[in-house]
A and B are shown apart, each in its own frame.
Chain A
C-alpha cells in the first residue's frame, strides 16, 4: 500500500519538476471544435512555410515556432479573421517567401504564361505534321 502511494506521489512530482519546460502553445496541436473553421485554418497552415524547417509547411513541421504559428492562426480564425487576411499579415512581415500559394506578381507572369505558350507551341507543331501528312 505504502509503495503504491509512493509511486502515485512520484507521478505527481514529475510535472512539478518540469515546470520550466514550456508546453506547446494551446492550439498548436489541438483542432478547433468547429469543423468548418478547422478546415479553413488547416488549408492556410498547409500553405504557410515554416521559418525553422524551410522546406516544410507549418502544418507538417514539429519546430516550436511552427507550433506557435499554428496556435496563433487557429486563435485568429476562431476570432473570426479571414485566412487570406492572416496570409497578407504574414507576407507583410516575412515577404512572399512565407506563403506557398503563388501570387499574380509580375515576376510570376512567365510561370502562368508557360502552360499556354507550351500548349500553343504543341498545337503549332501538330498542325505542321498534319499538313505535311496530307500533302504526302
Chain B
C-alpha cells in the first residue's frame, strides 16, 4: 500500500508530461464550424451589393433546388483565389448567391469586373450582422443550402480545384 503512494507523484507527473506533449504535437485546429449546419437558415434581408445583381433575402434561397451561398468580400485575397472555382461550379449548372461582408458597392463592382461574376444575387452585409447570425467566422466560406432553405454543409476557407467535385456531391446529396 505504502509503495503505491510513493510512486503516485511520479505517476501524476508523467501523466501531465504526456498530456502536455500530446497538446504540443497535435496539429492546431482553429477552424470554427457553424452549429447551424442541418438547421434552417436564419431569416434575413440584405440590400444589393453590386450594381447589376439583385439584393438577397433568406427567402430567395429556398427555391426547391440546392444552391450555394458564398460569403466573400472584395478586400479578401483568398476570395479572389477561389473565383475560378466558383466560375467552374457555375458552368456545371450550380446556382450561386453571395453575401459581401463589410463591403461597399463600388468595391464589389470592381472585384467582380476583375475576377468574374458567378453570382445570381448578392446581398451587402456592411456590419457582419448576417455573417454572425449564420455562425460564419470569416471569409471566404461557402454554405450548401438545400431546396427547403436548410444549411446542408459549410465549407470554410477558399474553394480549391479539388474541392469542386466534393461540393458538387454535397449539392447532389442536398437534393
Contacts and interface: CB of A to CB of B under 8 A. Distances in A.
Interface of A: 19-20, 22, 25, 51-52, 54, 64-65, 68-69, 71-72, 90-95, 97-98
8 contacts: A20-B106, A65-B128, A65-B138, A68-B128, A90-B132, A95-B35, A97-B32, A98-B32
Chain A CB within 10 Å, residue with most, of B30, B33, B127, B138? B127
B16 to A, nearest CB: 14
Contact of A68 (B32, B127, B135): B127
A20 B127 contact: no
B129 interface: yes
A52 B138 CA distance: 8
B107 interface: yes
A94 B30 contact: no
A127 to B, nearest CB: 15
Interface residues of B, number: 22
Nearest to B42: A93
A22 B32 contact: no
A85 to B, nearest CB: 14
Contact of B132 (A19, A54, A72): A72
Contacts of B36: 92-93
B82 interface: no
B102 A69 contact: no
B137 interface: yes
